[in-house]
């Protein structure tokens, strides 16, 4: 090897190294420039990772950027479960995103206790007088406003009118025994009565939660939440009633492993017209369409009826199980975050999300934009609700919420008795 | 085995180009200097290992003595060994242990013989032998998550490939991952599908290390092919088989990705492993102290197994690594 070729190779390697180093340094520097204040960047994590809301949020963000020069909004849309996992790691590391999705309740409380969210005070709080008070209350922790809703909704039965007619069901069920009768009728017509995502667990806990508030009333739930006494007679009865339903085998084959948002999951089965009904929140029509094979869902054939009354229960049939979708602002967020939230909650933006995204708005004056007749029904039921209970897996601290999900999943799989379910939840609640 | 170096001073004293044989004292100095010279090269790896492996292990052991939800710096609610007592009484965790044991037994009793059989088969002169080896090894190249997603589709009760094929034979309505009685076996099948190629290649390499003269000698002595396998091939494949079993068992103890994507541990914990339980408690229930206790348990199980296995099973294979015999001076 002669010296000149060695030298050439060395200088070539040296150049390559210098180039790589320069590129690396430049990349670091570019990140630094964005954070240094030349342009404010806002990190926004939301869970609408499918259209139409995916595009609607993006458009609203662009509108805000156009009106406020120098602010850049970086959107990270995540699927529901992936969002929960990802948010957990960043919040436990103490580094929450600037604006992120929140359901309020026990999880928000834990985040507030750890000092991870900013409070809405003064002007930002005054703005909230325009927003539905039921929703606003869900985001208050110890009297402090720690988040805002953008949607207030409830859980009810979404059913396929065509399949109901095919099975000969003439009247919508008004009581729990009516419902069991309808299920038997549909099953006799060789149609899958209920679509359930047993694998995700939270769709199943809706049944138990509703039976619990029908049996014990929303007030009874609040009592139990305070003392941790989830093994009371009312809760055992709720489990027993659910067991009656499960024993009719009303769910689709493979329901124990089915997911909610998957191409062969609960919403896909509903959207493809393969099941007669599902108990789901107000987002059901949109998600059914998103996961159906023709991306349109069942269209006009979709109907809604509220959860029936329970004979002998202390609760009233106008009490609803529901929740909010909303936002919380992370502790590192710039003040522009509050401005952005105001923008997202303005009557105009809310009309847009109601009309295009099938969202039930919370800002007063935006209700006229709801086009879907089913959603109008839901909105009416909400407006006339006498009691409101947040989904149990969000209302309570995460450990209890997860235990409710797990125990009800075991009940649905017929591997535990209603008493054992109630005891397991009470045990976790008392351990907190 | 150390050899005594005698210093033939008399022989070299008059030689013009004689090298100075170093005296014992400076030889020790040279060895120490050599070790000092190695240190800077080891330092980055030691730092990474210390910072990313040792420190988290110590932190996890510390955290497991507390009741903590993961927020805010360091835990404050000391509960001593409560988490471990709860662990031993938790039927999900004891179920994890038994499910782990089932997976280990299935790996050793099913996956290993299949891999061994294929390795021996593909060692013979076949047409397209290279192609077969490629095809069988290919699943190992896929990531675990991709394999999991792929098989959720293949095993889907509604329109999955497996059910479509079975429908041709008249068998319908099978749920693979949704049946509590079958989920664990289905999980094992998917894990085996991914890893059997790797073990096959490992055993193939081990097989090729056996000199063909031994087979020929056996044949000349009139041994049948089963006897050759039983008395020549199998014993000489011993080290490779022992390594293969070791890797399988360690893999089964910490199995997470595949379980999480395929079933999430369900239905009703029937396919859950310790790692999945740890994730659920740490990141879903925000009970980080308890999850740390689970991780400490996993660590102890893996470490005890690895040490015992190396000491007793692999003793002959790695003589010198953990024993003094055969070591360099």
Exposure class string for B179-216: b at 16+ Cβ within 10 A, else e: bbebbbebbbbbbbbbbbbbbbbbbbebbeebeeeebe
Determine the pLDDT at residue A23.
55
The chain A residue lying nearest B176, using CA atoms, is: A254
**Residue B2 confidence (pLDDT):** 44
What confidence score (pLDDT) does residue B290 get? 95
Q: Over pLDDT 70: what percentage of chain B? A: 88
What pLDDT shows up at residue B118? 93
Q: Is the pLDDT of residue B215 over 50?
A: yes
Dig out the tokens for A135 from the structure: 């929703």
Tokens standing for B299? 């660590």
Whether the pLDDT of residue B183 is over 70: the answer is: yes
The answer to whether B75 and B63 have CB atoms below 8 angstroms apart is yes
CB A370: neighbour CB atoms within 10 A?
19
A257: which chain B residues are within 8 Å (Cβ-Cβ)?
157, 175, 177-179, 183, 263, 266-267
CA pair distance B135, B138, nearest whole angstrom: 5
> What does the pLDDT read at residue A17?
62
**How distant is the Cα of A351 from the closest Cα of chain B, in angstroms?**
35
Q: What tokens appear for A252 in the block?
A: 């689709």
Residues 6+ apart with CB under 8 A from B145: B257, B261
B248-278 residue pLDDT tens: 999 999 899 999 999 988 788 999 999 999 9
Whether chain B has a CB inside 8 Å of the CB on A92: the answer is yes
Of A85, A199, A410, Cβ closest to residue B283? A85
Running DSSP on this structure, what letter comes out for residue A312? T
* Binding-site residues on chain B for chain A (CB distance < 8 A): 69-73, 152-153, 156-160, 173, 175, 177-180, 183, 263-264, 266-268, 280, 283-288
More confident residue, B158 or A350: A350
In Å, how far is B71's CA from the nearest CA of chain A? Answer: 5
pLDDT tier, B150 (very low <50, low <70, confident <90, very high otherwise): very high
What's the pLDDT tens digit per position in B64-102?
Answer: 999 998 887 788 889 989 999 999 999 999 999 999 999
- Model confidence over A260-295: pLDDT tens digits? 998 889 999 999 999 999 999 999 998 999 999 998
* Residues of chain B neighbouring A94 (CB-CB closer than 8 A): 71-73
Q: Please answer yes or no on whether A264 and B173 come within 8 Å at the CB atom.
A: no
The complex's ipTM? 0.80
Can you give the three-state secondary structure of chain B, one letter per residue?
A: CCCCCCCCHHHHCCCCCCCCCCCHHHHHHHHHHHHHHHHHHHHHHHHHHHHHHHHHHHHHHHHCCEECCCCCCCCCEECCCHHHHHHHHCHHHHHHHHHHHHHHHHHHHHHHHHHHHHHHHCCCCCCCHHHHHHHHHHHHHCCHHHHHHHHHHHCCCCCCHHHHHHHHCCCCCCCCCCCCCCHHHHHHHHHHHHHHHHHHHHHHHHHHCCCHHHHHHHHHCCCCHHHHHHHHHHHHHHHHHHHHHHHHHHHHHCCCHHHHHHCCCCCCCCCCCHHHHHHHHHHHCCCHHHHHHHHHHHHHHHHHHHHHHHHHHCCCCCCCCCCCCCCCC
Instruction: Note whether A91 contacts B157, CB cutoff 8 Å.
Output: no
Of B56, B59, B71, which to mutate for an interface test with A (greatest number of A Cβ within 10 Å)? B71
For residue A271, count CB atoms less than 10 angstroms from its CB and return exposed for 0-12, middle for 13-18, buried for 19 or more: buried
- Which pair of tokens denotes residue A365? 């004056």
Nearest CA to B273 out of B247, B301, B245, B246 is that of B301
- Give the pLDDT confidence score for residue B3 in this predicted structure: 45
φ/ψ of residue A158, rounded to 5: -105, 120
CA distance A288 to A269: 8
The answer to whether B296 and B64 have CB atoms below 8 angstroms apart is: yes
Tell me whether A39 touches chain B (CB under 8 Å): no
Task: Evaluate if residue B16 carries a pLDDT over 80.
Answer: no
| pLDDT bucket at B9, cuts 50 / 70 / 90 | very low
Question: Residue B159: which of A262, A264, A397 has the nearest Cβ?
Answer: A264
Q: pTM surpassing 0.90? A: no
- d(CA A266, CA B158) in angstroms, rounded, equals 12
Q: Range with the lowest mean pLDDT among A149-153, A339-343, B28-32, B107-111? A: B28-32
Question: How far, in Å, CA of B316 to CA of B305, rounded?
Answer: 17
pLDDT in tens, B294-306: 999 999 999 999 9
Which pLDDT score is estimated for B7? 47
Residue of chain B nearest A415, judged by CA positions: B268
Average pLDDT, consecutive stretches of 10 residues, N- to C-terminus, chain A (432 residues): 57 62 52 50 92 91 90 92 88 90 90 89 79 84 89 94 94 95 95 94 95 93 90 94 95 92 91 94 91 90 94 91 92 90 90 88 85 88 87 89 94 94 92 80
Kindly state the average pLDDT of the residues B143-161.
Answer: 91
Task: Find the closest chain A residue to B172 by CA distance.
Answer: A253
Cβ–Cβ under 8 Å, residues B259 and B177:
no
Residues of B with Cβ-Cβ distance to A115 under 8 angstroms: 72
Residues 6+ apart with CB under 8 A from B1: B326
């Amino acid at each position: 090897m002669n010296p000149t070729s060695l030298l050439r190779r060395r200088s070539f390697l040296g150049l390559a190294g210098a180039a790589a180093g320069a590129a690396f340094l430049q990349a670091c520097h570019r990140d630094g420039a964005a954070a240094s204040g030349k342009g404010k960047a806002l990190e926004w994590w939301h869970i609408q990772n499918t259209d139409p809301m995916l595009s609607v949020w993006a458009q609203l963000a662009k509108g805000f950027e156009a009106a406020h020069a120098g602010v850049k909004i970086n959107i990270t849309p995540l699927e529901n479960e992936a969002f929960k996992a990802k948010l957990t790691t960043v919040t436990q590391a103490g580094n929450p995103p600037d604006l992120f999705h929140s359901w309020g309740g026990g999880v928000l409380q834990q985040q507030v206790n750890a000092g991870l969210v900013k409070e809405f005070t003064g002007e930002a709080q005054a703005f909230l007088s325009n927003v539905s008070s039921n929703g606003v209350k869900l985001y208050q922790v110890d009297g402090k406003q720690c988040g805002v809703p953008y949607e207030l909704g409830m859980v009810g039965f979404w059913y396929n009118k065509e399949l109901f007619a095919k099975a000969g069901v003439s009247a919508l069920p008004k009581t729990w025994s009516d419902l069991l009768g309808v299920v038997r009728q549909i099953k006799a017509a060789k149609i899958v009565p209920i679509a359930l995502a047993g694998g995700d667990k939270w769709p199943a806990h809706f049944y138990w939660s509703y039976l619990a508030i029908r049996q014990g009333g929303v007030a009874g739930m609040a009592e139990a939440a305070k003392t941790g006494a989830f093994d009371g007679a009312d809760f055992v009865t709720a489990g027993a009633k659910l067991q009656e339903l499960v024993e009719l085998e009303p769910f689709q084959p493979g329901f124990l492993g089915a997911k909610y948002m998957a191409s062969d999951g609960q919403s896909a089965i509903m959207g493809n017209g393969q099941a007669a009904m599902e108990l789901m929140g107000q987002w059901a029509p949109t998600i059914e369409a998103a996961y159906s094979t023709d991306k349109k869902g069942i269209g006009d054939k979709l109907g809604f009826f509220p959860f029936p009354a329970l004979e002998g229960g202390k609760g009233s049939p106008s009490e609803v199980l529901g929740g909010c979708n909303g936002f919380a602002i992370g502790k590192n967020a710039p003040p522009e975050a509050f401005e952005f939230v105001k923008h997202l909650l303005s009557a105009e933006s809310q009309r847009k999300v109601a009309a295009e995204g099938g969202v039930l708005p919370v800002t007063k004056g935006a209700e006229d934009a709801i086009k879907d007749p089913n959603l109008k029904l839901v909105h009416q039921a909400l407006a006339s609700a006498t009691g409101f209970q947040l989904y149990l897996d969000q209302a309570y601290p995460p450990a209890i919420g997860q235990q409710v999900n797990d125990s009800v999943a075991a009940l649905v799989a017929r591997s535990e008795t209603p008493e054992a379910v109630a005891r397991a939840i009470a045990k976790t609640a008392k351990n907190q | 085995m150390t050899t005594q170096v005698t210093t033939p001073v008399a022989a070299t004293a008059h030689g013009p180009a004689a090298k100075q044989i170093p005296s014992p004292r400076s030889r020790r100095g040279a060895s120490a200097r050599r070790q000092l010279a190695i240190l800077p090269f080891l330092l980055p790896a030691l730092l990474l290992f210390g910072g990313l492996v040792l420190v988290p292990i110590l932190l996890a052991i510390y955290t497991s003595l507390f009741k903590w939800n993961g927020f805010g710096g360091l835990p404050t609610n000391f509960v001593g060994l409560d988490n471990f007592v709860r662990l031993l009484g938790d039927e999900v965790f004891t179920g994890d242990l038994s499910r782990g044991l089932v997976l280990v037994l299935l790996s050793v009793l099913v996956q290993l013989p299949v891999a061994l059989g294929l390795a021996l088969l593909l060692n013979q002169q076949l047409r397209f032998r290279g192609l077969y080896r490629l095809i069988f090894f290919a699943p190992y190249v896929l990531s675990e998550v991709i394999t999991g997603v792929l098989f959720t589709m293949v095993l889907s009760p509604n329109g999955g490939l497996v059910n479509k094929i079975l429908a041709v034979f008249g068998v319908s309505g099978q749920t693979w991952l949704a049946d509590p009685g079958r989920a664990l076996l289905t999980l094992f099948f998917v894990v085996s599908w991914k890893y059997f190629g790797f073990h096959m290649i490992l055993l193939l390499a081990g097989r090729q290390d056996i000199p063909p003269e031994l087979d020929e000698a056996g044949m000349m002595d009139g041994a049948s092919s089963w006897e050759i396998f039983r008395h020549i091939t199998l014993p000489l494949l011993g080290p490779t088989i022992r390594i293969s079993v070791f890797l399988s068992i360690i893999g089964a103890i910490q199995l997470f990705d595949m379980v999480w994507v395929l079933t999430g541990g369900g239905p009703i914990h029937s396919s859950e492993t310790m790692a999945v339980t740890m994730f659920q408690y740490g990141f879903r229930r925000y009970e980080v102290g308890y999850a740390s206790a689970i991780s400490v348990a996993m660590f102890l199980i893996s470490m005890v197994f690895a040490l015992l296995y190396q000491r007793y099973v692999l003793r002959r294979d790695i003589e010198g690594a953990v024993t003094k015999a055969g070591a360099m001076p």
